[in-house]
Structure 1
Amino acid sequence: MAGHVRIWVGAGVAVVALIALGVYFAVVGLDKADKWGSVIGVFVAVAGLGVAVYGLVSSRRSGDDDGSETDRSPGTVSQRAEASGHGRVYQAGGDQTINDQ
């Protein structure tokens, strides 16, 4: 539940910041707004790059290449599926061809 609260708070802060930025840009004029927009864009890009590098490094340290939360040894494939009624489940650890008519 705490994760959902953080997401909503972050979204709310982002919306308020965007509204404030829009009002500021409308007040200062288009030329100055264009210059500030370029500067802010550089900082956002650098921050995004930093977050991407941090995510890559942290996923490599934890040994979690696919982002899942399961704890597996490398090279192990774990699959789980369920079908009901007339449904079928086809699973394969590699390439798969199904010729079903």
Structure 2
Amino acid sequence: MTRRALTGVGAVVAVMALVGLGAYFAAVGLDDADKLASVLGVFVALAGLAVAVYGLVTSSSGSTGGNTTNVRMTGTAKGHGRVFMAGGDQTNNE
């Protein structure tokens, strides 16, 4: 799917979710809907906290995943010189 199609599908889903939410509020009343939203909010917050902690723990290992590692390269060119850098077994024949 193209980016434009995905944006359109996302917009349709968002509108349907808003209509469904409005229908739910009308059916159960705002008081019961507020109670349910509070409980769901706690679970969403806990899930977000767990994902944040996981991200912190995995990012401090120095690895980007799999068999890859982080590489830091610096290069300086003077005059009309150019710098070519590659983070692996690559050759530039210029």
TM-score class, shorter:
0.3 to 0.5
Between structures 1 and 2, the one with greater strand share: 2
> Max radius of gyration: which structure?
2
